[in-house]
Amino acid sequence: MNKSFRIWVTLGVATVFAVAALAAYPRRQPTFEIYGSDVLSTTASDDIVGAARHDVHKSLANWTTDAHGQRHDPSYKESGRGWSHTTKPGDTPVNVVGRGTTEFTDASGNHIVIEVISGKDRPTLVFFSPLNDKDAATLINAFAASLQKQGVRPVLHQ
């Protein structure tokens, strides 16, 4: 067996082990944690959090039907604002903090507010503002269920 062949075999075996090790390495899965009945933090992306907000609205809103048979929610409002900075004049601004609010009236007539505050390289905070504790549990559980449906796992304390 020549030296060149042994080097190629050694490199091949090392490559197989490296690929197997990378495949076995657990990827960092986004998580969420619930604090009481009105605050949740998550490492999920803004897209996942936005989808959860829309899922909650879709499941709890007081839907009405217009003259054309289309469902809509006239109470639904969304707003947002972001703050950014640059390190040097002329650089592309980097978003540092964002704040978004979703408001609607649920099927029981309660005014619901979901406020999201996200920061660069920080967990996102989600605040829920229903009228009472029973509705708070329904609201935060619906949001958590949407996150889990999208692959975000809860942080479990022992």
How confident is residue 2, by pLDDT bands cut at 50, 70 and 90?
low
Taking residues 7-30, what's their average pLDDT? 56
Report CA dihedral (13, 14, 17, 19) to the nearest 10 degrees: -110
Pinpoint the alpha helices (H) of 40-125: 46-60
The tens digit of pLDDT for each residue in 52-105 reads 999 999 999 999 998 999 999 999 999 999 988 877 787 887 778 999 999 999
What pLDDT is stored for residue 115 in this prediction?
A: 97
Pinpoint the alpha helices (H) of 44-99: 46-60
